[in-house]
Structures are given as C-alpha cells and as structure tokens.
Chains A and B, each alone.
Chain A
Amino acid sequence: MTTRRNLLKAGASAMIAGVVPVSMVRLAFAEPEQDFIFAYISDSHIQHIKGNRFVRNWDQGLIRAVAETNLLEPKPDFVLFGGDLAQLATREELDHGAEILSGLRFKTHMVMGEHDYYLDLGEYWSRLFGEHYYSFDHKGVHFVVLNSILTYDDWTHNRWESGERRMAEMAGLDNPNGSPFMVGEKQRAWLKQDLAVVSRDTPLVVLSHSPLQKIYKGWNFWTEDAEQVQKLLQPFRQVNVIYGHVHQIQYNQIGNIAFNSVMATAWPWPYPQSYAQAESHLPVLTVPMNRADPFDERDATGWQLIDLHSGRVDLAYNLYANQNRLVAFNEHSGRPEDKRFQDPANRIVPQTHY
C-alpha cells in the first residue's frame, strides 16, 4: 500500500504539496498506523436573503473550500465541519449549506455551532446531520465531538418570546443580553463515561465549536465550564482540541492539551467594511480590520488540512490568496507553534505607511 509519506517523499503528491509545506514531511513516526490526514472546514455562515437568494460571498467561501478539498491527492481520510454552517439556523440556510457540503467526496463529521442551534435548539440540524455530540475511533485515535455552545437553561427556555429572538440575541457580539457558552453537566457526564473505556495512551482529538478555554467572554471566545472539561481530558497523554467560532488562527497549550483554532470560510474576525456599490448584506460590524486586503473578500479566510501524526495534530492553513501558514506541535517545547512566524525575527512588520 502506498502511504502518504511515501508519496510525499516520491514527490508524486503535487496536489497536496501545494497545501502542505515540505516541513511536514517527517522521517520517523512513532505509530505509523496512527498517521493520517483529514480536512477541516468551518464557519461558513450561509445566509438567506429571501426566496432562493443567499449571500454570495459566504456561499463562495464554502464552495471554494469544498472544491479545493476535493482536489487533494492523496485524499484525506475524512472531512470535519466545525459548526456555524448557517447564519440564523433556518431550514433554508441549513438545507443550502448541506447541499454545498454534499459536493464533498469524503465522509463528513459535523460539529454544532450556535448559529445552527438557537432557532430550534438544533432540531432541524439533527434531521440533516444526526447527533449533537458523539465520538468515533479512527486508526487508533479517539475523536470526540462536543456541542459546546449550550448555555444556562433559564436563558435558553424561559427568557425569549421566540426562537428567532433567541437566535438573534445569541448571534450578537458584546451583547449584554447574551449568555456564555458551555458544554453542560449532562454532556460532561457523557464525556466522562465515553472516556472511561479509552486507554490513557490513546491520542484524543476533541472537536468543539467554541474554544474549550477562556479567551474573550464578550464574543463568546469562551466556554464557561472549560476547566471542568479540561479536567476530564488532562489524564490523557496526548490531547488535541480543535475549535472554530473565532475565525482566526489561535493556538495554546494547557497541560497535556494542545488547542488549535480553525479559520472560517466566511469572514475573518475582525473584518473590514470594503467598498462595494452592489448591495453586500454584510452584518454590521463595530471593529475595523487591519490585516486583510479589503479588495479581496476571500482574504484571511480559508480551510485546514490536518496532519495527525504521533498523536499530535499539525494544522496547515490554506488561506487562499494569502500566505499559507503551518501550526505544528513542537515536541521539544511541548506546544503548538507556528513553523515560520513563532520566531519574532520572522514576523511581518506592521504597515505604518498607507
């Protein structure tokens, strides 16, 4: 059988070489049977305008990620979608998003995002995609998908006159009416049980929509019971948490847990208001963007090719017209690091002349 690294060595994998920097090629793998690649697409925010019209920009971001993923050669083992397929969780949006995702030629695992959930508490999403949280095993690696965007029952069930209002409130940033995300007691009990039968030496990959760490509450870059979830994960030797929601590249290490975020296909946070004479339907934003090319609506968006080797994940960010990035686990420092920009000397100096 031809393995991925044989292909990389042989130079016959031109398509994948376009995405994965050469630095990902390794000479020795601890457990070669646990080495594989999968693609990660997230946060497409498919948005319905009316009738059969959807926001072109968001459609195009997801369509491009699907088309590029389908070009990967050798092929990824599967694809993960990291949540927020829709913008306001309507049937039209979820159906339209599911239709675009159906173009993928690979098995796809879905993660729930708050934009998929708060209209009908994930009911229609379930009809399309199944369980809100679940686990599966692949080549000796245990994958856990959590629904991390739940919140207090009182906020969810007693506070709003309609699902539409509830969805709109949860979609807001810096919203005093909002509520922090959480995994919740019921799901933590399930997680504890699920992990009880897994060997501590088994590599874990935990997939959630919100970060299972606390970054910024006002935008729900936050999971209220993050510490309790982390406590369940810490006994395992190699834990990788991959989350969406933040629309930017983040990485961190807490104990045995390596945290990596994935990019959105829709827009980067923060993002610019760029000029367009044609109506654009962008949500109103309060924070200006200073890193994307305002001309290119795909700039600072993208998708990921994830290389799982030796129980750790390396994320190759495919950033369309921008410079691709690689965040890989550094065995020496024991944490994820950007392969190029970790060294301050290699960073791109901010633009001071406009």
Chain B
Amino acid sequence: MRNFHFALLVLFMGPTMGAALATDDLGLPPVPIPQTNPQSAAKIALGDRLFHETRFSSTGEVSCSTCHDEKKAFTDSPLVASEGIRKLRGTRNAPTVINAAYNATQFWDGRSPDLEDQAQHPFVNPLEMGLPDHGPILEIVSSDPEYIDAFRDVFGIEPAKITMQQVTQAIAAFERTVVAGNSAFDRWYFSGQEDAMSESAKRGFQLFLREGRCVSCHSIEQDHALFTDHHFHNIGVGINEIQEKVPPLAKAFLKAKAEGADVDKTVLADKNISHLGRFAVDEQLSSMGAFKTSTLRNIALTAPYMHDGSLATLRDVVVHYNNGGVGKAGDPINPFLSGGIRPLDLSEQQIDDLVAFMEALTSERFVAQTGASNSLDSAVPSRPDRLATTQGE
C-alpha cells in the first residue's frame, strides 16, 4: 500500500507544488525549535562564532568546525575516526551537523538528548578539545569584549552570570540553521521533476523501498524525508570484531559505569567499548552493538561510513547489507544482529542502482563538494581489514 501512496503523491504534488517548494527546505519538515531556546539572528550569529572558536580547546587549535567542517559537508571526511587536539584520535566517525537539528537524540549512540546537551561534551573530552572543565570557556566569553556584547545582546546577561547554558544554546541555535534538503531526489519525488534524477537512481529508489529493505529504518514520509527512524540497530558493524569479547567487555564496562566512569570519555577512548553502541547508554540487551540510524541526506559527501568509519564507500555499505550484516558473505554474523538484517540477494546492477539513489540525495547547497569527496574517497582504504591497521597507530 505504501508504495501506492508514494506513487499518487508524485502524481498529485508534482505539477502543482513543484515551483513553490524549490528551496533549500524542499523535502524537509519544519525545524523543531525548543521553547526554551528560541531562534534569533543575533543568537545564530553568536553560535556560528562559538562553533568556530579554537580558543575553547586546550591547544587553541581545535573548534567544533575542525571535525564538522562546512567544506566537508560538516564532517571531517575522509578521516575514519575524528582527530582532536594533538591529532589524538577517538573511536567514532564524525556525523554531519547537516540536519542534526531533526535528530531525536545526538551522537551515534544517542547519549545526548538534544543539540544543547551534545555541545558541552567535546570541549572536555580528552581526545577532542581537551579542556579540564568548562571554566576556560566561561573565562573567555566573560572577558572578550565582543563576546560580552554578544551575550548581553542575545541573552540580556552580564559577563559574570554567563554559564554553559547560554554557550550551548547559542551553538544549538546556529546548528538549527544547518539544514538542507533540495536534492535531486527531492526535486523528483516532491516536485515531480521527471528529469531531476537518473534512471539508475529511480530504479535505486524502488529497490530502496522494496528488495533493499532500506526504508524500514531510513524512513520517508508523504511530504518530507529525513531518512532515519531515530532508532538504534545492530547491523553487524564493529560488534562483529569483538564477538568473543562481548561478555567480559560488557561486564567490565557496566562495573566501571556503576563506579562513576564517564560514558562520553569511555566510548571515545576505548575502541572495543565503543562497539557496544547504544548498550553503553541504556544497558538493554536489545541495544547491544546498536547504533543510531543515520540520515542518508548528503551521504555521498561524508565517506567513510558507520560509527567507526569502517566502510569506505557507499558500495561497501550496500554490499555489507546485501551479505546480511557481514563484510564478506559467509562470515559469522553476530548473535545480537537486528532481526531486520538478512541476506538480500541483490545483483551487481541493483547494488549500483542503490548507490546511484544515495548519490542523488546531495543537497543543492553542498553539491559543489561532490568532486572533492569523490577524490577523497580514493584515499581511504577500501577494506575494513586494512582500516584496522590504519587505526592501530
């Protein structure tokens, strides 16, 4: 039935709504703005500045934008895992900020409920910006004349009263402007431009809905598409590498957590613990090795893929799913694999079509970065077993 509705939608919406919706927002729902943090132009400008502020790191060299670089679709592509101060490397691949405003939770494991909460953590993570606490940030914003003026203007607050609440609210307000729809897919699907997407991408979309079993998690709706269900799934990435170690790792981690270990610091510092995924946050058996469904918008710009950056190309991703949650057909699947992941039996042509579809999800605003990303792709090892070596430095 669902496919039938989709077809109708294209027919009815295409001719009537096409021109009206051809904006950056095409295919996106309204951005949710929390009542506690309304948007304003001044707040967004302040957040933009804070986002790019390198003085908020222990070396004075790293800002939010180091790993979420606008020129790289707000990621640090092609890095496998993000690098913070002194090139220290964490365990996770930087997710894009683009459309993060729509996420129900933040970080790969959803350990932050919103953008405001998320923003406070990287400053004090030893592998990211390396501050001992948030004190140095508050010192800067309460002594730098430009920040003093900006915080007074936006929040009506005197320098001595500024807390991390205002800092993270401003950053979040800026991030809520980093939204982008208007991809070839949006123009084809929501505006009815028949020639907006290639024939291969159109076939890929049908596979996306059916044989590829993609849409069950990378959801699309009748009038918008975020390509995520906001849930967490074990798809056989990362956990496959630690199968025998899961019981002792889980036990040791929970013990450390009960004794006060910080989840944010632990998961970024220990690659094996990182692979426990959502389990490290909610301690549910059904969350073992599970990570958040990431959006597919602008996915062609953000290689490599998955929480650990272990899949180099979109084709590798489709092959992983096609094999039923393993890199190589016949490899042992992990015991906690989501029941939605199973071998697909896609042909080479079908795999290519799915990749073509995902490549049609690049927003007009970022489409100029496509070439750069493609050349970066080739710099990344194409096999997970080689990535392990790269990371073991």
Binding site for B on A (CB under 8 A): 11-12, 14-15, 17-19, 56-57, 60, 63-64, 66-68, 70-71, 73, 275-279, 295-299, 318, 320-321, 354
Contact = CB atoms under 8 A, between A and B. Distances in A.
Contacts of A279: 345
B315 interface: no
A60 B344 contact: no
A278 B340 contact: no
B85 interface: no
The dominant DSSP class at the A interface is loop
A354 to B, nearest CB: 6
Given A15-B254, A67-B335, A73-B251, 17 more contacts: A11-B258, A14-B283, A15-B283, A56-B324, A60-B337, A63-B335, A64-B335, A66-B335, A67-B336, A70-B247, A71-B251, A71-B285, A295-B216, A296-B338, A299-B339, A321-B338, A321-B339
B254 A73 contact: yes
A19 B1 contact: no
Contacts of A19: 285
B175 to A, nearest CB: 30
A276 B213 CA distance: 9
B211 interface: yes
A295 B324 contact: no
Nearest to A296: B339
B246 interface: yes
Contacts of A276: 342
B154 interface: no
Nearest to A105: B247
Contacts of A295: 213, 216, 340
Contact of A56 (B210, B254, B342, B344): B342
Contacts of A18: 282-285
A63 B335 CA distance: 6
Nearest to B345: A278
A259 to B, nearest CB: 26
Interface string B114-154: 00000000000000000000000000000000000000000
Contacts of A15: 250-251, 254, 283, 285
5 contacts: A56-B342, A64-B337, A67-B336, A68-B288, A321-B338
B257 interface: yes
The dominant DSSP class at the B interface is loop
Interface of B: 1, 210-211, 213, 216, 246-247, 250-251, 254, 257-258, 282-286, 288, 324, 333, 335-340, 342-346
Nearest to B346: A277
Contacts of B213: 295
B238 to A, nearest CB: 16
A296 B340 contact: yes
Residue of B284, B324, B342 ringed by the most chain A CB atoms within 10 A: B342
A63 B337 CA distance: 10
A45 B338 CA distance: 19
B1 A354 contact: yes
A104 to B, nearest CB: 12
A56 B341 CA distance: 11
A60 B324 CA distance: 12
Contacts of B258: 11-12, 14
Contacts of A321: 286, 338-339
Contacts of B254: 14-15, 73
A354 B1 CA distance: 8
Contacts of A296: 338-340
A180 to B, nearest CB: 33
B285 A14 contact: no
B271 to A, nearest CB: 20
A62 B271 CA distance: 28
A298 B257 CA distance: 29
B247 A297 contact: no
A219 to B, nearest CB: 24
B339 A17 contact: no
Given A60-B333, A63-B335, A73-B254, A278 B342 contact: yes
Contacts of B335: 60, 63-64, 66-68
A19 B284 CA distance: 7
Given A278-B344, A318-B285, A71 B339 contact: no
B285 A298 contact: no
A71 B246 contact: yes
A320 B287 CA distance: 9
Given A14-B257, A15-B251, A71-B250, A277 B285 contact: no
Contacts of A56: 324, 333, 342-343
B324 A68 contact: no
A277 B336 contact: no
B283 A277 contact: no
Contacts of B216: 295
Contacts of B338: 296, 298, 321
Nearest to B243: A67
A299 B286 CA distance: 11
A64 B211 CA distance: 25
Contacts of B250: 15, 71
Contacts of A14: 254, 257-258, 283
A60 B336 CA distance: 9
Nearest to A63: B335
A17 B333 contact: no
Given A14-B257, A60-B333, A275-B210, A297 B251 contact: no
A297 B342 contact: yes
Contacts of B283: 14-15, 17-18
A277 B344 contact: yes
A18 B250 CA distance: 13
Contacts of A354: 1
A242 B216 CA distance: 36
B347 to A, nearest CB: 10
Nearest to A17: B283
Nearest to A278: B345
A20 to B, nearest CB: 11
A298 B339 contact: yes
A71 B247 contact: yes
Contacts of B324: 56
Contacts of B346: 277
Contacts of B339: 60, 296-299, 320-321
Contacts of B285: 15, 18-19, 68, 71, 318
